[in-house]
Structures are given as C-alpha cells and as structure tokens.
Amino acid sequence: MTDLTLDPNMTAPDDAYAALIAAHDGLTREESEALNARLILILMNHVGDPRVILQAIETAKR
C-alpha cells in the first residue's frame, strides 16, 4: 500500500498544466465543470486505492 504522494511526481509538470488549461479553451463554465468532473473520475479510477483517494480528498480540503 502506498500513500498519496505530494512530492513532485510528473515528468513534465509545465506541459501537463498547459494541457489541462488548453482542454478548457473555448468551453462555457458548464462545459468546463463537466470536463473537470469527468477528469476527476478518470483519475480516481486510475488511482484505484480508496485509501489514497480519501487522502487526496482530505488534502484538497485543507
């Protein structure tokens, strides 16, 4: 069991960030919210471990 990592883990953080912002280009607020929701669900599934997901939720609430 691994814990949630909060240390740098992305090989190209600037690229990943730019891709996230670009995905929202030209979207209405509603469309952006829907996109974000889908993205969260996809990443949650990729993580899988419910313990890590709960740690991420708690970290986000901080």
Partner 1 sequence: MTWQDRYPLSFRLYPYTRSPDQDAGQTVRHSVTIVGGGPVGVATALDLALRGIPALVLDDHEGVGQGSRAICFAKRTLEIAHRLGCGAAMRDKGVIWNRGRVFHDRDEVYSFDLLPEDGHRYPAFINLQQPWFERFMVEAVDRAKAQGAPIEIRGRNRVTGMEATADGVTLAIDTPDGPYTLTTDWLIACDGAKSATRDRLGLDFDGRVFEDNFLIADVKMSADFPTERWFWFEPWFKSGASALLHKQPDDIWRIDFQLGWDIDRKTELDPARIRKRIDLMLGPDVEYDLDWTSIYTFQCRRMDRFRHGRVIFAGDAAHQVSPFGARGANSGLQDADNLGWKLAAVLKGDAPETLLDSYDTERIHAADENIRNSTRSTDFITPKTPQSRIFRDAVLHLARHAPFARPMVNSGRLSVPATYDGSPLNTQDALPGGPARTRPGAPCPDARLADGSYLLDHLKGPGFTLLVLGATPPRLPTGLPVLTLETAANPQLRARYLGEAERALYLIRPDQHVAARWAACDAGKLARALDRAQGKAP
- Chain residues that interact with partner 1, rule: CB under 8 A: 33-34, 37-38, 40-42, 45
Least distance from partner 1 to the Cβ atom of residue 33, Å: 5
The number of CA neighbours under 13 Å toward the Cβ of 60 is 7
Least distance from partner 1 to the Cβ atom of residue 3, Å: 23
**Nearest Cα to Cα of residue 37 among 26, 45, 62, 10:** 45
- Residue with Cβ nearer partner 1 (38 or 51): 38
- Residue with Cβ nearer partner 1 (20 or 34): 34
**Nearest Cα to Cα of residue 55 among 3, 11, 8, 1:** 3
